[in-house]
Structure 1
């Protein structure tokens, strides 16, 4: 009788184990099925990128994005809120229109930079000049400065070619390619020496030109790709700063250099809005068994505004939102609490996530894992243990449940070294939380979409983004369900060969809570 009783107990245990395993597989199967058959990614991307547009910190569009995300989460039954963490210089972009009017008429491709002052109600028409070609020292440059009065001034180097190196490598002779690179290197060095001789940098020169009476500053920050520029912020306070496409910038430069005295007519409208509040969007799926432990889905919500911020970081944003939607549908009562953090002002120094870490130590102390995605539209291909000694034990276990069609793309490195910046996972990592960046395939990200005027909807590869939703949702589910708390034990970092000193774990940094002002 005792043998039968023991056998019966064993059968019950095996049955319970099988039922749990079957239940776990069923959740994962439902996640995959939902992604493959009922994806909302295109809908989310359209609403975020086409309707709301770029999300520069301090702009009405950034606030519109937060409001949209809160409503979207709540429509899925996920409580969400805008959490204020600081304030920023408020600014709203208006119309930019740039025409060359002499020596002939041509509409130019360009835009005012973020936070650029306006031209006012009327367009500004003026001659375009280059910086002095012969500057012997800083005093000579000061003597030259009055010549900028009433002029637009070109302050970027004229690029010798608008063709990327890969195009030269494919078609040029080896000798021609090497000659171009050598001459470009010499030109770049001479340009740097010129700035050093003038006594300015690209950040400080615009203010000096403005003070000397220039009516505007023109840059061209080429991204080493066909027709692509990096687009950042202005350093003038009274006159507009414009960025022109390499082709148009080069034309103006050559005309000015050869004495043709080109003129442009510029409309650059914008509004100063004073200091405005800045937010993170925080959504929460409450845990049932361990509600005071957390799995965090992380992506920065803001972008530069040269384009619509599709791959930096619209794609990371919609991955986290879609993963949350699916988890709420098929895993509505997680063991641990799932937090979705869409951070503000990552582009100016991880400010939103740093503020969250600083303001919520009780959450950071009890984080099971942070999964962050940022760098573009590609499928995730790399995850590193970020210096956590036992990361292999839990991350590989979680990854083992990710479908092979997704997991086979992912290379892992354990224990790895702690990341020190670059995206919001670093804010959590510095505070000791197990935080992991889901690093994506490049898809020419650095040259063509990262911070550029071409970071738009058409660059999204939705099959790869769907891949990332499956990976994120399954990792989140497994991390939430794990019976063990993820270890935070850190590796012993090596001696820095350059300094000879012991390397240390990155330390938390406070955010800039009042940005855009000096």
Structure 2
């Protein structure tokens, strides 16, 4: 009996020493992650090479292909296996110069740009009068008025009452003047909607109707409710250019046209079609040692709109995940599970790259431990939802506890939460039952100033916050790799907030693999 007692005690001591040794190794790896991120950060270098050197990454553009190839080369320089995997084709288009000058009633260069996939101006540009969609008189039809557009540029966006965002009014105006402005803005919006309804065409169809009637081009202005910020999306015209003007310059032309002063502009907007182009996802992989067929995934979308360089949507997500791979390759080169990063193509047109991966690699989905996605700006990670996975609190909570408290202290969590049905690439995986989580950032005026705007550039990045995001993500990946078993995938069916009845888990959706090719 005494011998048995001694043997049991020895066994307990052995396990205790082993556990202590494992904790010491874990602490050492985490300390090395933090030290590497703090002392040898490559975030500014990566941001400069991607955003300044390559530029915007519109799907199907030469810059998108350059970005794919650059990332593969960068991974390989770090000793990480990299590859591009084709998943579809897209209409190829390359942006050229956009130069817009008001030439009557006086001369001024205007701020604006072509919309993506817009046809070009004639070589050297074209001069024409600017007109506005009118409010039709009783008995007059839009078809009666339509011949007036021939040889002219047509404005089709709502004029703005003020170029000051609401927060500026709230800071400086009286309550009465702010209310009066909002009332006037509502009236102008209603009056413009009446004008548009009188055309009998929706916003997608109207530009095509105008070009068929002989318009020289279409002028829009999609103000983003921030000083100098406009959303830049895609054109619907097939033969003549569509440009987006700044709020200030759109308002100038609109007021001149409405008052009968017949403004004219010279527009030289150049671009070229490049035919059908292959489109890719880019991957980097650090092969696991003990469980190489199980994966911990990093996720960010590589493409952007091209009104600017896509710095916070989603350059910051890309450089964060690339930096995490670099750090882990250096301080944790032999992970228990395989670490795989996916930089997705064509997220902006409907999560197409990540949906293609889910559809093309069903054999991988059951072997993904967790996926972490980052896609909404430059701020520190501030929100984390369990996405409807019942046991997510247990393992995410343990892993987060290993991240330095100053990085996690302000994070709002929601467990188990509800599954995301869209918004970013994590949703493609959640729909397939993969524990996939959005590392959602603090705003930093994201939706006003950088999300899909002409101002989404390198200078808007707050690198200290991005660095902390890289530290947190690297530690989470390390902990997920070291977890003894695959985490639970038990799901909670969400509740419809209106009816109070059970809703449904999102279902996987197929990607668009031939983007804009039939248009």
Fold agreement, TM-score > 0.5: yes
Distance 1:493 1:454 in 2: 37
Equivalent of 2:90 in 88, 91, 97: 88
* 1:5, distance to aligned residue in structure 2 (A): 4.4
1:110-259 matched pairs, under 5 angstroms: 110-134=112-136, 140-259=141-260
1:284-339 per-position Cα deviation (integer Å, ceiling 9, x unaligned): 11111111111110000000000000000000000000001001111111111111
Identify the residue that residue 414 of structure 1 maps to in structure 2.
415
Distance 2:23 2:496 in 1: 45
1:341-388 per-position Cα deviation (integer Å, ceiling 9, x unaligned): 000000000000000110011111211101000000000011000111
1:102-145 per-position Cα deviation (integer Å, ceiling 9, x unaligned): 111110001111001011322111111001122658x7011111
Distance 1:135 1:150 in 2: 23
Q: Mark the CA change 1:15 to 1:150 in structure 2 (over 3 Å): closer, same or farther.
A: same
Answering whether residue 291 of structure 2 is matched by residue 295 of structure 1, we say: no
Preserved contact between residue 40 and residue 322 of structure 1 (Cα < 8 Å) = yes
Preserved contact between residue 80 and residue 281 of structure 1 (Cα < 8 Å) = yes
Equivalent of 1:71 in 70, 73, 86: 73
Identify the residue that residue 515 of structure 1 maps to in structure 2.
515
Distance 1:188 1:307 in 2: 28
Distance 1:355 1:253 in 2: 44
* 1:9, distance to aligned residue in structure 2 (A): 3.5
Identify the residue that residue 425 of structure 2 maps to in structure 1.
424
Preserved contact between residue 496 and residue 502 of structure 1 (Cα < 8 Å) = no
1:199-256 per-position Cα deviation (integer Å, ceiling 9, x unaligned): 1122111000000000100000000000110000110011000000000010001111
Unaligned runs of 5+ in 2: none
1:16-55 per-position Cα deviation (integer Å, ceiling 9, x unaligned): 2111100001000000011111100000000000000000
Distance 1:193 1:103 in 2: 29
Unaligned runs of 5+ in 1: none
Distance 1:283 1:76 in 2: 10
Answering whether residue 355 of structure 2 is matched by residue 315 of structure 1, we say: no
Range moving further from structure 2, 156-165 or 188-197? 188-197
Instruction: Report how many aligned residue pairs link the two structures.
Output: 516
Preserved contact between residue 133 and residue 196 of structure 2 (Cα < 8 Å) = no
Distance 2:168 2:138 in 1: 37
Identify the residue that residue 279 of structure 1 maps to in structure 2.
280
Identify the residue that residue 503 of structure 2 maps to in structure 1.
503
Identify the residue that residue 26 of structure 1 maps to in structure 2.
28
* 1:189, distance to aligned residue in structure 2 (A): 2.2
Distance 1:514 1:241 in 2: 23
SS of 1:229's equivalent in the other structure is coil
Q: Mark the CA change 1:362 to 1:97 in structure 2 (over 3 Å): closer, same or farther.
A: same
**TM value normalised by structure 2:** 0.97
Equivalent of 2:58 in 56, 59, 64: 56
Identify the residue that residue 101 of structure 2 maps to in structure 1.
99
Distance 1:5 1:501 in 2: 57
Identify the residue that residue 305 of structure 1 maps to in structure 2.
306
* 1:6, distance to aligned residue in structure 2 (A): 4.2
**TM value normalised by structure 1:** 0.98
SS of 2:396's equivalent in the other structure is helix
Distance 1:224 1:35 in 2: 36
SS of 2:117's equivalent in the other structure is coil
